[in-house]
Amino acid sequence: MKSQRPYLLRALYSWIVDSGEIPYLLVDATGPEVQVPLDHVEDGQIILNIGANAVLELHIGDEYAMFGSRFDGRHYDIVLPMESIRAIYCKDSGEGMVFPDETLAKPAGVERVLDRVQHVTGSDSDDEPPDPSDRPTLRLV
């Protein structure tokens, strides 16, 4: 399945701009394909203003985010592989989203939930009807 990150990134960018705020990216600058001004990297990370007044020709594709920007009066072509983008947020309000590390294993319990769904939906080869106490329930909080 395709990564959700570029879709969420585009949606959150639009939401932040439509809200009248400035979008910022938190980027892991240690990746091999990341192109950012190294003088501005701290602890392997860089924070980038991607507001309309700060970038030229912003393109958020499925594999990369790319744009031109100025640092210390010099133009830089910024290239960010999607997996290097850790978060998008508004500087003033702090609203935004931190993206999960897609290389991590599935969260604990996911396999058990998937097994239960297969059992309840009958996609297992088991001929016995499911036990009603095993059915998933919705709990409103």
Residue 2 and residue 82 in contact, taking contact as beta carbons nearer than 8 Å: no
Quote the pLDDT of residue 110.
Answer: 43
* 0.85 exceeded by pTM: no
Using DSSP's 3-state secondary structure scheme, residue 104 falls into: coil
| CATH number for region 5-98 | 2.30.30.220
Nearest to 47 by CA among 73, 25, 67, 76: 25
Model confidence over 41-94: pLDDT tens digits?
999 999 999 999 999 999 999 999 999 999 999 999 999 999 999 999 998 898
Determine the Cα–Cα distance for residues 65 and 120; give it in Å rounded to an integer.
41
Q: Show me where the domains of the chain are located.
A: 5-98, 105-141
Please calculate the CA angle 83-35-40 and round it to the nearest 5 degrees. Answer: 105
Determine the Cα–Cα distance for residues 6 and 8; give it in Å rounded to an integer.
6
